[in-house]
A and B are shown apart, each in its own frame.
Chain A
């Protein structure tokens, strides 16, 4: 059924946004008033508002990977905005506008504040989860201690509200849910929406592509809070009752159960699931009150253990033809940054790194210029990887200064270092597991080309050297393949292409030849040479294999016990007695090096 719509579409019709469970939602909204009785309509209206809140849980948890118990707080805030304003101020158009503004903007502000607390740099995923528990607890206690103003534990009832017919409420709530669903779907499948998934997959890689995951998550929480607040406002205005339970942590976990049972990360799945579960609860709670909750709990446990992807993807799989969007690749002009050819792009002065009394780097001073391919060598434990870390993260070093393309990195985050012109390829392939090759490459371009919130670019622009890597390694034929399914070598190549897509001036390569065959080493060596000599990048190559490095490097720096002991051309270094001593030990000077 979904494929029918996909075949029909030429561009991106509205219908193509709605998947199988979404169509069921749409049908329910359309036929509802004609077939349902009053009780069912009443239940469905509430369920529509719950479904909007469930969307926000799915976006935060299913797509972005932040487990949250706290969306009920924003829902409750919206409901109480309606309840408090209508009870204490009255029900006039002006006060309706005020209540709505309080519900949406108030929730958004609380959401931004909560996000600012939750998502600081280096926060663990547990921490955001804890804060999402604290928020409903705090809100709940505040409402309970609010006396007659908030109605304390019995809540607020009997306030004036909109006098719509049940049928009208049904259209309003159902329409609002469909609008929220379609908007979310448009956003989630856009280039910007894929950034959320990339944060879920690999947050540190996002930072090393120059993105700021914390800021993105804070904004996202603000938007999701506003949406939940809107839903809560609707719920409060419709039901005419607001109770402290709406803000509580139990209600927040209920939302998680809806999303988990129906399928996290599928958007329309949780919406339909919320409708089904809410209606079933309304009917079955009276027929078999405790058994129904028991069954729901049991189903939840089983789904979490055996079917983490939820039930709806399982049921709708036979209908869903997975459609992968494959953009074209195009070569982009690398803009000259107006810097002088010979100006150093990397200047390190007296850099040191201590862990307590242990000193891993001592007084490291050196410069890198465009077009240089510098091999950084040294035996295990010499401090090579620590040196890379210091260059790419301002918080790492304990002393000295580092300038990237003339910018002092001070104590800045990796994303700032990347924006100054640095690219870092890790030792193990560091990519986004569930994104396709094309999406990974697009992600790497998000700093240079702003990602659209509404659509996906049909063309990905890559600098010529990145395009070359993609073509030579055969990745171009696999643009639609999910990165997790690539071979080890292909993943390494993909990461290299992603780093190059940043158009860096300096590129850090941490043991890029580990695990490669001799033939692959030779070809990758040629790629590195051309990066330096043809395109003028400054390449820093960490290796402990001197033989490989001396073939391609223009300069070799040898680290030993945290200090630079020798630097110079390949011959000078390889023939240096000191280096032979370091590698082969003092008593075996005549043996071959490494």
Chain B
């Protein structure tokens, strides 16, 4: 039973970490390689809040706002000139990630820090005891997914965003401010990144490179799932199943590369991945 929980919570964590990258790639076709650094920022936000004695639950909103602010600055200064050069945008955002990580290192040092989870202990569920905080991540992932789907499919902003995704020139000629849409999307995407950083810190430790280890997995997941958050949810579930099974029954280190290998194989066979269109 606990392996089922492992699969579900891993999938939830992957989804939480990937959603910000997905938001940005889905709308702008730009891979934000500073996503790893943004996750680290989230980790340090939670560290600072814990030092100040502010309870973790409030921090979630705060983390999102910090990330959105960082994202807004990045979009204005760095990403905007590179929309026409997607490969260069990967590189520039990676460089920006280096800068952010070094700033964090200068401020907080290289050492590993720990943050307590806002929810301690285990819950007894379906015959096993399982970490309550990890279990909470499952509904959190669903809530994030539902909110994003609602935002993109149920609001005026969502309609405009989808118009920009489908045909930017036409959308602009209809009076939609594509630049503004991108600005907002990028900020939300970065905000989701720091939120993810905050959410995962109680499960691991905080160090400047904590986000980078997640970056490649998140990148692979986005490439496989295309534009839709529902297909991302599905992909996370499938891949985390493989990852947990390989880690448990074969070798935990080899488990670390299952996502990369599966993603490469999936894309080779089906270049559009799991997306329907």
- A-side residues, CB < 8 A to B, are 67, 117, 120, 122-127, 129-131, 133-134, 137-138, 141-142, 144-145, 249-250, 253, 256-257, 260, 290-291, 293-294, 296-298, 300-301, 304-305, 308
Q: Which residues of B contact A125 (CB under 8 A)?
A: 87
Instruction: Identify the 6 closest CB pairs spanning chains A and B, nearest first.
Output: A297-B98, A145-B253, A294-B102, A300-B95, A301-B95, A141-B257
**Smallest Cβ distance from A570 to chain B, in angstroms?**
40
A138–B257 CA distance with the chains assembled, in angstroms: 6
A117–B264 CA distance with the chains assembled, in angstroms: 9
- B-side residues, CB < 8 A to A, are 31, 78, 81-82, 85-88, 90-92, 94-99, 102-103, 105-106, 212, 216, 219-220, 223, 251, 253-254, 256-257, 260-261, 263-264, 267-268, 271
Q: Which residues of B contact A298 (CB under 8 A)?
A: 95, 99
Set A120, A123, A249, A304: member contacting B95, Cβ < 8 A:
A304
**Smallest Cβ distance from A263 to chain B, in angstroms?**
14
Residue of A nearest to B105 (CB): A290
A571–B95 CA distance with the chains assembled, in angstroms: 66
Q: Which residues of A contact B81 (CB under 8 A)?
A: 305
Q: Which residues of A contact B220 (CB under 8 A)?
A: 130, 133-134
Q: Which residues of B contact A301 (CB under 8 A)?
A: 78, 92, 95-96, 99
A120:B268 contact, CB within 8 angstroms: yes
B96:A137 contact, CB within 8 angstroms: no
Residue of A nearest to B89 (CB): A304
B271:A300 contact, CB within 8 angstroms: no
Known A-B contacts A123-B271, A144-B253, A305-B81; the reply to A300 vs B261 at CB < 8 A is no
A19–B81 CA distance with the chains assembled, in angstroms: 31
**Smallest Cβ distance from B83 to chain A, in angstroms?**
12
Query: Which of A142, A294, A298 has most B Cβ within 10 Å?
Result: A294
A126:B91 contact, CB within 8 angstroms: no
Query: Which of A137, A142, A260, A304 has most B Cβ within 10 Å?
Result: A304
A300–B82 CA distance with the chains assembled, in angstroms: 14
Known A-B contacts A67-B87, A67-B90, A130-B264; the reply to A145 vs B98 at CB < 8 A is no
Residue of A nearest to B220 (CB): A130
Residue of B nearest to A131 (CB): B264
**Smallest Cβ distance from A300 to chain B, in angstroms?**
4
A122–B271 CA distance with the chains assembled, in angstroms: 9
Residue of A nearest to B209 (CB): A250
B253:A134 contact, CB within 8 angstroms: no
B102:A141 contact, CB within 8 angstroms: no
Known A-B contacts A293-B102, A301-B78; the reply to A130 vs B219 at CB < 8 A is yes
A126–B90 CA distance with the chains assembled, in angstroms: 10
A137–B14 CA distance with the chains assembled, in angstroms: 18
Q: Which residues of B contact A134 (CB under 8 A)?
A: 220, 260-261, 263-264
Q: Which residues of A contact B31 (CB under 8 A)?
A: 126
Residue of A nearest to B102 (CB): A294
B260:A137 contact, CB within 8 angstroms: yes
Q: Which residues of A contact B253 (CB under 8 A)?
A: 141, 144-145
Query: Which of B31, B106, B223, B253 has most A Cβ within 10 Å?
Result: B253
Set B82, B85, B99, B268: member contacting A297, Cβ < 8 A:
B99
8 A-B pairs in the complex with CB atoms less than 8 angstroms apart: A67-B90, A131-B264, A141-B257, A249-B216, A253-B94, A294-B99, A297-B98, A298-B99
**Smallest Cβ distance from B223 to chain A, in angstroms?**
6
**Smallest Cβ distance from B258 to chain A, in angstroms?**
9
B98:A130 contact, CB within 8 angstroms: no
A126–B219 CA distance with the chains assembled, in angstroms: 11
A145:B95 contact, CB within 8 angstroms: no
B257:A137 contact, CB within 8 angstroms: yes
Known A-B contacts A124-B271, A138-B257; the reply to A133 vs B219 at CB < 8 A is yes
Query: Which of A122, A250, A293 has most B Cβ within 10 Å?
Result: A293
A285–B46 CA distance with the chains assembled, in angstroms: 29
Residue of A nearest to B79 (CB): A305
Q: Which residues of B contact A67 (CB under 8 A)?
A: 87, 90-91
A129–B33 CA distance with the chains assembled, in angstroms: 13
**Smallest Cβ distance from B231 to chain A, in angstroms?**
17
Set A137, A144, A300, A308: member contacting B216, Cβ < 8 A:
A137
A294:B264 contact, CB within 8 angstroms: no
Residue of A nearest to B100 (CB): A297
Residue of B nearest to A120 (CB): B268
Residue of A nearest to B99 (CB): A297
Query: Which of A290, A291, A300 has most B Cβ within 10 Å?
Result: A290
A290–B107 CA distance with the chains assembled, in angstroms: 10
A467–B219 CA distance with the chains assembled, in angstroms: 50
Known: A129-B90, A141-B257, A305-B92. 19 other contacts (CB 8 A): A120-B268, A126-B223, A127-B267, A130-B267, A133-B216, A134-B263, A134-B264, A141-B254, A144-B253, A145-B251, A145-B254, A290-B105, A291-B102, A291-B106, A294-B106, A298-B99, A304-B82, A304-B95, A308-B88
